[in-house]
């Protein structure tokens, strides 16, 4: 990886971190942006407060869903840095496996973006990318250009 690529990733990570600070739920969950190689990824660090079922223990479904929604917003910010925060229009979440009490990762992909709306998919996993614990499909209203 070239030095300029590393600098670009650091700049993007800082920009996303600053923008996510304006989303209280992202701060509450402790979400951190990170690049894994070339791929932009969000990390939901394990916290006791994100546990929904202490008997299993399992991550709260709302924490997983909120994490994936923030991941979609972060990907849109990364692709559209001069726009205000996007707003969710419609979001569908598939819970595929129990979220264990470990760090969780998410990665988003914009499938289609128009002038006002972006269609995006998010995958959340813990140990392996190819065994997701949840998936999100959603439409987001793009923010106004600032």
Q: Are 100 and 60 in contact (CB under 8 A)?
A: no
Q: Walk along the chain (146 residues) in steps of 10 and give the mean pLDDT of each run.
A: 63 85 91 88 94 90 96 93 92 96 97 95 97 98 88
Whether residue 146 lies inside any domain: the answer is no
Whether residue 132 lies inside any domain: the answer is yes
CATH number, residue 16: 3.10.129.10
Using CA atoms, how far apart are residues 40 and 12, in angstroms rounded to an integer?
Answer: 9
- The pLDDT score that the predictor gives to residue 1 is 45
- The pLDDT score that the predictor gives to residue 125 is 98
Domain extent for 29: 3-141
Whether residue 98 lies inside any domain: the answer is yes
Q: How far is CA 72 from CA 2, 44, 46, 94, 106, in A?
A: 27, 14, 20, 15, 9
- The pLDDT score that the predictor gives to residue 4 is 52
Whether residue 30 lies inside any domain: the answer is yes
Number of domains in the chain: 1
- The pLDDT score that the predictor gives to residue 2 is 46
Whether residue 53 lies inside any domain: the answer is yes
Whether residue 128 lies inside any domain: the answer is yes
């Amino acid at each position: 990886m070239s030095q300029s690529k590393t600098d670009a990733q650091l700049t993007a990570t800082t920009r996303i971190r600053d923008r996510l600070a304006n989303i209280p739920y992202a701060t509450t969950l402790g979400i951190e942006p990170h690049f894994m190689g070339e791929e932009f990824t969000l990390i939901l660090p394990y916290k006791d407060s994100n546990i929904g079922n202490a008997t299993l223990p399992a991550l709260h479904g709302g924490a997983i869903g909120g994490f994936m929604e923030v991941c979609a917003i972060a990907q849109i910010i990364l692709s559209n840095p001069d726009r205000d925060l996007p707003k969710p229009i419609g979001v569908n979440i598939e819970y595929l496996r129990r979220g264990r009490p470990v760090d969780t990762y998410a990665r988003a992909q914009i499938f289609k973006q128009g002038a006002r709306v972006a269609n995006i998919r998010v995958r959340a996993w813990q140990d392996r990318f190819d065994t997701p614990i949840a998936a999100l499909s959603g439409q987001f209203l793009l923010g106004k250009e600032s």
